[in-house]
Amino acid sequence: MLTYSFKRLVQLFVTVLGVVTLVFFTMRLIPGDPISAMAGDNLSGAALDQMRGQMGLNDPLPVQYLTYLGRLAVLDFGTTVTTKLPIVGLILGALPVTVSIALGTIFLTVLISIPLGTLAAYMAHKGNRMLDNIITGVAMVLDLMPPFWTSLVCLLIFSLTLGWFPASGTVSLDDPAMLLRRIALPVLVLSMAQIATLARITRTSVLEVLNEDYVRTARSMGWSELHVLFRHALKNAALPIVTVIGLSFGNLLNGTVIVEFIFTLPGIGNLLVGGMNSRDYQMVQTLIVFYAMIFVAINFTTDLIYRVFDPRVQF
């Protein structure tokens, strides 16, 4: 186990280094450089040169690359190009909003999709195809609805027509009630897409377990159907479900960018879109690396959980 974790950790490190390298060199491929992009035509050649010198852009590329790596190692992400604010501060300030959306979504998704998927599996097992087909069909449609469209439809129905949730308003951790009301719709929208995937996997893995001998044994011992379903079937089907929750995190991160933009929530997704629109490459570069790191770390954890809890997995 320890050797395996170590091997995976080395692999993780190589991937992260690859991500950083890739992002660094791709950003240097931009025609012109960040300085001329932000300065426009207003500055003379000499002034531009001076600014380049200040930012180290006149050094040879390998030197620039090593300097960049050195800074990353001490978590110095630099400052934004336009406002000169430290990027780490901005990210840390925006992170709580994104994290609350993500956690809320995972909570709601698990709460709805696991009972739903189990029910569908049970119905399919009992030969009732109708309910199973309906649940599976609805799950597919939900899965394919583009989140930005669902957001607008929800905004139209719940905020503008029914007035249940505010469409705007300041969001901060000091006012949890407001925060909850503001993130309710985004969480709902993101959950819709996640519920589909999770319900489908729950259905498949529970259905598989229901055909196992030990479930039949449990039944023949006189356990009630509910007991068999939740204590014997769902428990043994839990592993793939946990894995899928971990793996669907990438999708969730994609989704947070979109909902934060639509519902004007000050999370890191909004920082990214803002950075793109103001051509702040420093910011975009840092955020893309940051997202990739979160994603890789979560995949790593999921993989370890899987191996810790499934004694059948060989090392």
Residues that bind another protein (CB under 8 A): 11, 14-16, 18-19, 22-23, 26-27, 29-30, 140-141, 144-149, 152-153, 155-156, 160, 250-251, 253-254, 257-258, 261-262, 272-273, 276-277, 281, 284-285, 288, 291-292, 295-296
Choose between 26 and 170: whose C-beta lies nearer to another protein.
26
Residue found under tokens 């649940």? 135
**CB 288 to another protein: min, Å:** 4
Instruction: Pick the closer one to another protein by CB: 238 or 288.
Output: 288
Cβ at position 148, least distance to another protein in Å: 5
Q: Where are the alpha helices (DSSP H) in 211-315?
A: 213-220, 225-227, 235-247, 249-262, 268-277, 281-309
Q: Which residues pair with 86 in a beta bridge?
A: 79
Q: Which is nearer to another protein, 37 or 51 (CB)?
A: 37
Contact 282, 71 (CB under 8 A): no
Nearest to 102 by CA among 191, 168, 192, 197: 191
Report the nearest approach of another protein to the CB of residue 281 (Å): 7
Q: Would you say 210 or 258 has its CB closer to another protein?
A: 258
Report CA dihedral (187, 193, 198, 204) to the nearest 10 degrees. Answer: 160
Cβ proximity to another protein: between 5 and 251 the closer is 251
Task: Tell me the closest approach of the beta carbon of residue 212 to another protein, in angstroms.
Answer: 20
Please name which of 301, 311, 194 lies closest in space to residue 256, comparing C-alpha atoms.
Answer: 194
CB of 23 to another protein, least distance (A): 7
Q: How far is 136 from 113, CA to CA, in rounded Å?
A: 11
Is there a contact between 299 and 247 (Cβ–Cβ < 8 Å)? yes
CB of 236 to another protein, least distance (A): 23
Give φ, ψ of 89 to 5 degrees. Answer: -60, -45
Nearer to another protein, 23 or 238 (CB): 23
